[in-house]
Amino acid sequence: MEREEIFSKTLRAGRRTYFFDVRSTKAGDYYLTLTESKKFTNDDGSFHYKKHKIYLYKEDFKEFSDILNEMTDYIISEKGEEVISERHQKDFKKEENHETNNDEDNEDSKDNSSNEFTDVSFDDI
């Protein structure tokens, strides 16, 4: 059973919310719970949340923190701080605009190239 919350922080990140909660054990010691809550929309427009929880105890703080820092540093050094999905959206918009311009160019070339074909009636076939 979950223990009393002592101290809490919340991080809202789009459809996800992260909860950091310090709780107390029966013996009066503290531990940390990390909860990811993600919002999902049903077909009828209603929504529900899925939650995932990690319990982190004091004896694991140092190693957990070291590995978390190592992993986040690695990701930033390899991929930078820009969010790829945002960059992808920018690229998608550029591509979409490029296709729109190409479609306009293709329409112009279709108008000019249509004079090169013979008009055929299906009655002739």
Domain span including residue 45: 5-102
pLDDT of residue 15: 86
Question: Is 94 inside any structural domain?
Answer: yes
Domain count within the chain: 1
Question: Is 115 inside any structural domain?
Answer: no
Per DSSP (E only), the strands in the chain are: 5-13, 16-24, 30-41, 47-57
Contact between residue 18 and residue 32 where contact means Cβ atoms under 8 Å apart: no
Question: Is 82 inside any structural domain?
Answer: yes
Question: Is 71 inside any structural domain?
Answer: yes
Closest Cα to residue 35, out of 68, 62, 71, 10?
Answer: 10
Tokens 């029966």: give the residue. 26
Three-state SS at 25 = coil
pLDDT of residue 29: 93
Three-state SS at 18 = strand
pLDDT of residue 5: 75
pLDDT of residue 47: 86
- Joined together, the tokens standing for residue 5 give 């919350």
What's the whole-model pTM score? 0.60
Does 113 score more than 90 pLDDT? no
Q: How many helices (H) and strands (E) does the chain have?
A: 2, 4
Q: What is the arithmetic mean of pLDDT over 47-75?
A: 96
- List, for residues 95-104, the tens digit of each pLDDT value: 666 665 655 5
Question: Is 107 inside any structural domain?
Answer: no
CATH number, domain at 68? 3.10.450.700
